[in-house]
Structure 1
Amino acid sequence: MKPVDAYFLEQKEPYRSIMLYVREVILKTLPNVQERYSYKIPFYNIGKKPMIYINILKGTDFVDVAFVQGILLEKDFPELQNYNNRKQVRSIQIKHIEDLDEHRFVMLLQAAGKQLEQSKKAWFI
């Protein structure tokens, strides 16, 4: 079993279901994305550049779907939050699967993928 698979299966509900659903939408929407296990969490890269990571932050009750270049997307996608005062990363917090608007999430994934492909590097701040 791959480490990323083990990570998802080790999560408690409802987090496991949320993460597996988000993973499915990411992989279906972005066929060129590569799933990796880095820093003990799942990352989704385009080429060698990280685009998204999924995590449950300590002391929270949601799945944090974080976009590495989220600061460049927040104008068009106001659902992206600057959680915990991060310089560049913006994320959506999901407490229940029903909270995720799949159509809007797909649009966000496509915009993030296009943005990252045009960038020289993922971390710029």
Structure 2
Amino acid sequence: MKPVDTYFLNQTEPYQSIMLYVRSVILNTLPEVEEKYSYRIPFYNISKKTMIYLNILKGKDYVDVAFVQGILLEKQFPMLKNDNNRKQVRSIRLKTLEDLDHENFVALLHEASNILCKSKKAWFI
């Protein structure tokens, strides 16, 4: 079993279900995405550049679906929030599966992928 699979299976509910669903949407929407396990969390890369990572922040009660270039997407997708005053990363906070608007999330994934493909690197700030 891959480390990323072990990570998901070791999560408690509702986090496990949320993360597995988000993972399936990402992998089905962007077949070119590469799933990696780094810094003890799952990352999703395109062309070796990080696009998204999933995390459960200490002391928080939600799954943090973090978009590395989220600052470039937050006007078009107001569901992205700036958690912990991050310079570039913006994220969606999911406490339940129902918190995820599937259609908007798929559109966000496509736009994030397009922007990342045009960028020289994922981290620019």
Matched letter for residue 44 of structure 1: Y
The question of 1:6 aligning with 2:11 is answered no
User: C-alpha distance in 2, partners of 1:40/1:80?
Assistant: 23
**Which residue is equivalent to 1:99?**
99
User: C-alpha distance in 1, partners of 2:114/2:33?
Assistant: 12
Matched letter for residue 122 of structure 1: A
What secondary structure is seen at the aligned counterpart in 2 of 1:58?
Answer: coil
**Which residue is equivalent to 1:35?**
35
Gaps of 5+ in 1: none
**Which residue is equivalent to 2:24?**
24
Displacement over 6 Å in runs of 4+: none
Matched letter for residue 4 of structure 1: V
Gaps of 5+ in 2: none
1:41-86 deviation line (CA, Å, top 9, x unaligned): 0000001100000000000000000000000000100110000000
Matched letter for residue 69 of structure 1: Q
What secondary structure is seen at the aligned counterpart in 2 of 1:74?
Answer: coil
What secondary structure is seen at the aligned counterpart in 2 of 1:104?
Answer: helix
What secondary structure is seen at the aligned counterpart in 2 of 1:78?
Answer: coil
With the length of structure 1 as denominator, give the TM-score of the two structures. 0.99
Alignment of 1:52-91 (within 5 A): 52-91=52-91
Residue 116 of structure 1 deviates from its aligned partner by 0.2
What secondary structure is seen at the aligned counterpart in 2 of 1:7?
Answer: helix
**How many residues are matched?**
125
**Which residue is equivalent to 2:44?**
44
